[in-house]
Chain A
Amino acid sequence: MSNAPRVEPQAWHPTASLETLRHRGVVMRQIREFFFQRGVLEVNTPVWLPNVAPERHQTPPACSGGYLQTSPETCMKRLLAAGLGAIYQMGPAFRAGESGRLHHPEFTMLEWYRPHWTLTQLMDEVTGLIQTVLPLPSVTTMTFQDVFLQHVGVDPFFSPLEELAKLLGPPALPTTDRALLVDRLFVERLEPALAKLDTLLVVTGFPPWEPGMAEIDPGPPAVARRFEVFIHGVEIANAYQELQNPVEQEQRLIEANRARVKEGGKSLPIDERFLQALRAGLPPCAGVALGLDRLLMLAFAKKSIAEVIAFCDPIHESGTRLRNSSTPCP
């Protein structure tokens, strides 16, 4: 038993312990060293954007007539198109309405781009970086299709929709939307199975229906040229062979806005300068976004990202902070 006086937690105290914050600072320095050694340049781009690259299932918080970025992707691609070379950025990203053990409306994203690299080359670098922070006994690479076949027992691309629906508990879903059924199987059946794995799992060959900004491999089956890294079922990083075609990119953004409106959301103003940069020519490149808070949560054996974030004040208490896109910033 320690005789040190116990400090009662106060509302103004940091959410993370001081010990965790010291460890966090050390890891951030290791990450900067990792990129310095490899000749990747650190950059800063604005977090406030007048126009964005809309996504169907992500909403940037509205702020002073513009938006807080959901990722630094558009600005970093403008730098790549301008010819800056390999770049990385470690800073805040925002997602309105996302809150939970693994989500917070403001979080820290580590994003980097490797011009003239393939997805496979980037995979080695991503797993290498993760291993410096959180050493794991092995790295396993599997396709999205094989992960589902092995852990859920169905083929996400080819199993009949009725068969996918049968594996779900209530409430039942309509057997018309494969993307929705696969998404729910993912959270209900796959993630709990992956949580038991003690390996660094790299999943490749994602379904083409939500490609983000990845190139599509026409297949068959057609897949998005993406990979994601999972540790204990927690999604840590998402990587693309970046889409270079400005026409296809513009179509995807328009389509995302259309889907948003159809699902009761708002259309978002498309960043024309981002598209201009693609028209001028984005070099072929592979890029990745990594959720730093989640990686630190696992590395420090914490249960929630709130335990590694300095101030993760409850959003319900303050009422409106970053809860939805119609809320203006203070």
Chain B
Amino acid sequence: MLTHNQLRQGTRVEIDDLPWIIVDAQFVKPGKGQAFTKIKIKNLMDGRVIERTYKSSETVVKASIVDKDMQFLYGDGEFWHFMDPASYEQVAMTRSQVGDVIYWLKEQESYQVTFWKEKPIALTPPPFVILTITQCEPGIKGDTVSGATKPAILQTGATVKVPLFVNEGDRIRVNTRTGEYVERAKG
């Protein structure tokens, strides 16, 4: 159980039998009145955001959530399969559970799978992934300073803006939070 002053941004809670993450928590107190905490919560399963207000004597259940680092094995069009490298235990996630992370999915790479009540509900990519460019305009040699960019399609189907000197077949490091090109991968 969490008391109202333990409701902080990033804490995962269970409300109405669903798992949520607190995205904003505000301590509020009118004039001479009593204290409340207003929280904005995001549903960990479908991403919708709602608000709730709790008074100081009310408590909220902490969600029993486990994050595991798991290796991506393969996708078969219906399910995307991940494996715990320590126990070899496997889980299958649906397309909607994988969400936009599908653009950063690479076999053998490690991803964070979020379990709620022992069922997988969400997927988080590593901050950076290295992916191969499968399609883009030919590179302009030596242009490393102009700052101009061109679109490039990656092996996962994601489109990112890359500098002009980058070529098809190059492996690049991409920031998965922003979807931005970082640098050409060495080796």
Taking Cβ atoms with an 8 Å cutoff, the residues of A that contact B are 55-57, 97-103, 168-171, 173, 179-180, 182-184, 186-188, 191, 206, 210-212, 228, 235, 238, 263-264, 316
B32 at the interface (CB under 8 A from A): yes
4 closest pairs, A vs B, by CB? A100-B27, A183-B33, A210-B32, A186-B30
B29 at the interface (CB under 8 A from A): yes
**B55 neighbours in A (Cβ, 8 Å):** 173, 180, 184
**A102 neighbours in B (Cβ, 8 Å):** 27-28
Q: Which residue of A lies closest to B37 (CB)?
A: A100
How many angstroms between the C-alpha atoms of A18 and B179 in the bound complex? 35
B54 at the interface (CB under 8 A from A): yes
**B51 neighbours in A (Cβ, 8 Å):** 169
Contact check: which of B26, B30, B54 meets A183 at CB < 8 Å?
Answer: B30
Given contacts A169-B53, A184-B53, A263-B57, contact A99 B34 (CB under 8 A): no
B77 at the interface (CB under 8 A from A): no
**A263 neighbours in B (Cβ, 8 Å):** 57
Contact code string B28-59 (vs A, CB < 8 Å = 1, else 0): 11111111101000000000000111110110
Q: Is the Cβ of B36 less than 8 Å from the Cβ of A183?
A: yes
Contact check: which of B25, B33, B58 meets A179 at CB < 8 Å?
Answer: B33
How many angstroms between the C-alpha atoms of A184 and B36 in the bound complex? 8
Q: Is the Cβ of A235 less than 8 Å from the Cβ of B27?
A: no
Q: Is the Cβ of B28 less than 8 Å from the Cβ of A210?
A: no
Measured CB to CB, the closest approach of chain A to B34, in angstroms, equals 5
Q: Is the Cβ of A210 less than 8 Å from the Cβ of B33?
A: yes
Chain B interface, number of residues (Cβ within 8 angstroms): 23
Q: Is the Cβ of A100 less than 8 Å from the Cβ of B26?
A: yes
Measured CB to CB, the closest approach of chain B to A105, in angstroms, equals 11
**A238 neighbours in B (Cβ, 8 Å):** 31-32
Measured CB to CB, the closest approach of chain A to B26, in angstroms, equals 6
B5 at the interface (CB under 8 A from A): yes
**A169 neighbours in B (Cβ, 8 Å):** 51-53
How many angstroms between the C-alpha atoms of A187 and B52 in the bound complex? 11
Q: Is the Cβ of A187 less than 8 Å from the Cβ of B30?
A: yes
Measured CB to CB, the closest approach of chain A to B54, in angstroms, equals 7
Q: Is the Cβ of A57 less than 8 Å from the Cβ of B26?
A: no
**B8 neighbours in A (Cβ, 8 Å):** 316
**A168 neighbours in B (Cβ, 8 Å):** 53
**A179 neighbours in B (Cβ, 8 Å):** 33
Given contacts A184-B36, A188-B38, A206-B31, contact A97 B53 (CB under 8 A): no
